[in-house]
Amino acid sequence: MPNGTLYLIPVPLADEAAAQSFTPYLTDTINSIKEYIVENEKTARKFLKQAGLKTPQSELLIHDYGKHNRDSGLKDFFKGLLAGNDVGLMSEAGCPGIADPGADIVAEAHRKGIAVVPLVGPSSILLALMASGFNGQRFTFHGYLPIDKADRAKRIKDLESAAEKHKQTQLFIETPFRNDSMLQEVLKTCKPNTRLCIACDITAPTEFIKTQTIAAWQKQVPDLRKRPAIFLLFHA
């Protein structure tokens, strides 16, 4: 029996953004699948309902690969796929495998010869890059920077140098409750003419995306507390 297909299903970035986050093909796909591998079961079930799932949720088989369930291995996640069943992979928000532990599941699917099909959907990284006005041909996403202040300041300086030397956009994130301290460090560390884009609450009604120089940001610093945000540095 041939293996099933692993479908990578993006999840909305904000509570109010479901309708703008999925396509008719995604809706058709979720209605042909009864098994899912998800980072957050509550989020996944909510999105499936919003996206037009017609199958009773009591009939779904959902595997949780959240942080408390990753040490048990991936073997159970692949039983259905190896038996010929199609399975959907869902991150808690955004695209599976992008800044997301689901990449391990995708890698294992390739090792087992299972077809992987990515579906169209929102990626906060790409949406922020699109809206920044920075170089979209050369860019690097660094994830989280060090928490230690000295190490973080050095890392920011290194990213700024790379942006200037290679004309390469540098993207990084922080946990929402540390956004303000991260921004203060960026404003203190970078050169006045370096450009910074702040993109937060992407696709939500409170979305805020703005690009200007460090010097301009220093004159009016936004409040980013508890708001998911991406920071982008560039030096023309």
CATH of the domain at 145: 3.30.950.10
Based on the domain organization, do 102 and 141 belong to the same domain? Answer: no
What is the C-alpha to C-alpha distance for residues 144 and 74, in angstroms, rounded to an integer? 25
Q: How far apart are CA 136 and CA 138, in angstroms?
A: 6
Question: What pLDDT was estimated at residue 148?
Answer: 94
pLDDT digits (tens, 9 = 90+) for 118-146: 999 999 999 999 999 999 999 999 999 99
Mean pLDDT of 74-88: 93
Last residue of a domain, one of 93, 118, 143: 118
Q: Which contiguous run of DSSP H or E holds residue 36?
A: strand 35-38
Do 138 and 72 share a domain, yes or no? no
| Tens digits of residue pLDDT in 105-122 | 999 999 999 999 999 999
72 and 87 in a single domain? The answer is yes
Do 94 and 141 fall into the same domain? no
Examine the domain organization and report whether 104 and 156 are in the same domain: no
Judged against a pLDDT cut of 90, whether residue 17 lies above it is answered with: no
Residues 181 and 222 in one domain: yes
The alpha carbon of residue 11 and the mean position of all alpha carbons in its chain are separated, in whole angstroms, by 9
- 169: helix, coil or strand? strand
- How far apart are alpha carbons 19 and 114 in whole angstroms? 30
Please indicate, yes or no, whether residues 86 and 155 belong to a single structural domain of this protein: no
Residue 68 has pLDDT above 80, yes or no: no
* Cβ partners under 8 Å of residue 100, min gap 6: 39, 91, 92, 94
The 10s digit of each residue's pLDDT in 177-220 is 999 999 999 999 999 999 999 999 999 999 999 999 999 999 99
Mean pLDDT, residues 44-64 = 93
Question: Do residues 230 and 211 touch, judged by C-beta distance below 8 A?
Answer: no
Compute the mean pLDDT over every residue in the chain, rounded to the nearest whole number: 93
Task: Write down which residue in 118, 134, 159 finishes a domain.
Answer: 118
Residues 99 and 196 in one domain: no
> What is the maximum span of the chain, computed from C-alpha positions, in angstroms?
64
Higher pLDDT, 92 or 18: 92
The answer on 114 and 18 residing in a single domain is yes
Residues 92 and 146 in one domain: no
Given a contact cutoff of 8 angstroms between Cβ atoms, the answer to whether 129 and 197 are in contact is no
Q: Give the pLDDT confidence score for residue 177 in this predicted structure.
A: 93
Binned at pLDDT 50, 70 and 90, residue 74 comes out as: confident
Judge if 45 and 100 occupy the same domain.
yes
In this model, does residue 71 exceed pLDDT 80?
no
Question: Would you state the pLDDT for residue 198?
Answer: 98
pLDDT at 236: 79
Q: What is the per-residue pLDDT for 144?
A: 95
Please identify, among 55, 84, 118, the residue that sits at the C-terminal boundary of a domain: 118
Q: Are both 107 and 142 inside the same structural domain?
A: no
Of 53-67, 87-101, 204-218, which has the strongest mean pLDDT? 204-218
- Calculate mean pLDDT across residues 11-26: 87
pLDDT band at 69 (very low <50, low <70, confident <90, very high): low
Domains in the chain, number: 2
Host domain of residue 174: 124-234
Amino acid 67: pLDDT: 65
Output the pLDDT for position 70.
57
* pLDDT of residue 72 exceeding 70: no
Between 70 and 36, the higher pLDDT residue: 36
Task: Using the predicted structure, report yes or no on whether residue 36 has a pLDDT greater than 90.
Answer: yes
CATH number at residue 15: 3.40.1010.10
